[in-house]
């Protein structure tokens, strides 16, 4: 069982900022930027080639909602959506990164970011 399955099953704690029947959205504990967030489907899919279109569509809908929340609450200047497959994929469970971009990044702890985004 991969780390994301354990997070989804609440075997490992996470800074979850959104959850529904299809996805769990939580802060990356090793962020590339303040507010780096992961959207992970609850059903295990290995990668982009394995996931069904209905789930992908839902993930993109959630990505738009959460990206707007990040932009409004963390005042970022842009957001990169990234998704790796195969060789570039550290965790073999489909996930979409939302990585905020800043001209000047504020220094916040993960707890402070969580409190702004939850």
> What amino acid positions are annotated as catalytic residues?
95
Full 3-state SS string of 33-90: CCCCEEEEECCCCCCCCCCCHHHHHHHHHHHHHHHHHHHHHHCCCEEEEECCCHHHCC
Q: Which residues contact 39 (CB under 8 A, 6 or more apart)?
A: 23, 24, 25, 59, 62, 63, 66, 95, 96, 98
């Amino acid at each position: 069982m991969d780390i994301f399955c354990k997070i989804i099953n609440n075997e490992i704690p996470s800074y979850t900022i959104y959850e529904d029947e299809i996805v769990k959205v939580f802060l990356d504990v090793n962020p590339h930027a303040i507010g780096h967030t992961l959207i992970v489907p609850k059903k295990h899919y290995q990668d982009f080639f394995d996931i069904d279109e209905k789930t992908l569509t839902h993930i993109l809908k959630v990505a738009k909602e959460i990206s707007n929340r990040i932009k409004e609450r963390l005042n970022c200047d842009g957001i990169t959506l990234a998704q790796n497959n195969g060789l570039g994929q550290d965790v073999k469970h489909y996930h979409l990164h939302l990585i905020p971009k800043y001209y000047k990044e504020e220094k916040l702890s993960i707890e402070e970011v969580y409190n702004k985004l939850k």
